[in-house]
Amino acid sequence: MSRIHLFLIYFLLIVSIALGAWAILKTPNSPSGQVVQMDERSYPVQAFTVTRDSIRLFDLPKNLDFAGEKVPLERGDIYERLEREIYVNAYWESNMILLLKRSAKYLPAIEAMLKENGIPDDFKYLAIAESALMNVGSPAGARGFWQILESTGKEYGLEISKDVDERYHFEKSTLAATKYLKKAHAKFGDWTAVAASYNMGQAGFSRRQEEQLHDNYYELYLNDETSRYLFRILAFKVIFENPGAFGYHFKESDFYKNPTFRTVRVDEDIKDLPSWAKAQGSSYKDLKLYNPWLRDRNLKVKRGKIYEIILPE
């Protein structure tokens, strides 16, 4: 077939498609065949009207604090930044429902550990902002509920090896986080700065304070992530403390719960964790689910070391 024939076939095909599209755009019963103009006049005005009846608007608290330190909501930019995070999270319904349900498994224990170690209760919302109370990892190498880097974890007494990574250990990582927060407070003197420095690092936050001649978080120009970070924590606080105001209504039975655990103390090597779990009357799935700090299929135990493994009763 010659190039001329191919060109004619393509040309006829294009014309056919164009004529079909033109026919679709015509008014079906219009004798004039006039093309329908799809502009804003084709729609009722009320369809585009946003009201409190169609899209719910929330009233922010008139007074708010973080760890007892006032949030200056009277300032326009502060109010707007908080409102942004509240709407982003309150209207991400699937995520918020799961967060609220999941929180019942962990927040009571976190609250108790924070109180015992002299850390304000509001820092439980920092763990939610960091990981959504899941043992996740970041591209930067942070791990666990508190998103602890390897170097930081080792500095605060966590074991991190091929077999064991205690950044995934709920109680031990929470204790390490309280030590870090307490040290940061000794450096900065206020809890708001402590929370911000948890996101960008103590050294980085100190540099911004020195460069910009301000110590107060709300007066600093920071990267987008850290600028939003504290307000994300505050949004969780506002929503969690009054979920019904945001449309989240739960019965006690709706919340997730942990099973009752038994503790097995281990002071010698386990060569095959699946076989060991089965011998304990449990399963490898439950072993890994409730002991995510076990990172391999075996466990080497140094002399004098004792691990406590929890299993459902």
> 153 and 290: one domain?
no
The answer to the question of residue 250 being in a domain is yes
> 179 and 86: one domain?
yes
pLDDT at residue 16 in the model: 55
Residues 238, 86 contacting (CB under 8 angstroms): yes
CA 88 – CA 97 distance, rounded (Å): 14
> 14 and 76: one domain?
no
> 38 and 152: one domain?
no
The pTM of the full predicted model, rounded to 2 decimals, is 0.82
> 31 and 149: one domain?
no
> 247 and 307: one domain?
no
Digitized pLDDT (tens) for each residue of the chain, 313 residues in all: 555 554 555 555 554 555 444 444 444 443 333 333 333 333 333 333 444 456 789 988 999 999 999 999 999 999 999 999 999 999 999 999 999 999 999 999 999 999 999 999 999 999 999 999 999 999 999 999 999 999 999 999 999 999 999 999 999 999 999 999 999 999 999 999 999 999 999 999 999 999 999 999 999 999 999 999 999 999 999 999 999 999 999 999 999 999 999 999 999 999 999 999 999 999 999 999 999 999 999 999 999 999 999 999 9
> 41 and 84: one domain?
no
CA 88 – CA 41 distance, rounded (Å): 32
Boundaries of domain holding 27: 3-48
> 250 and 267: one domain?
no
The answer to the question of residue 57 being in a domain is no
> 137 and 217: one domain?
yes
> 108 and 206: one domain?
yes
pLDDT at residue 26 in the model: 43
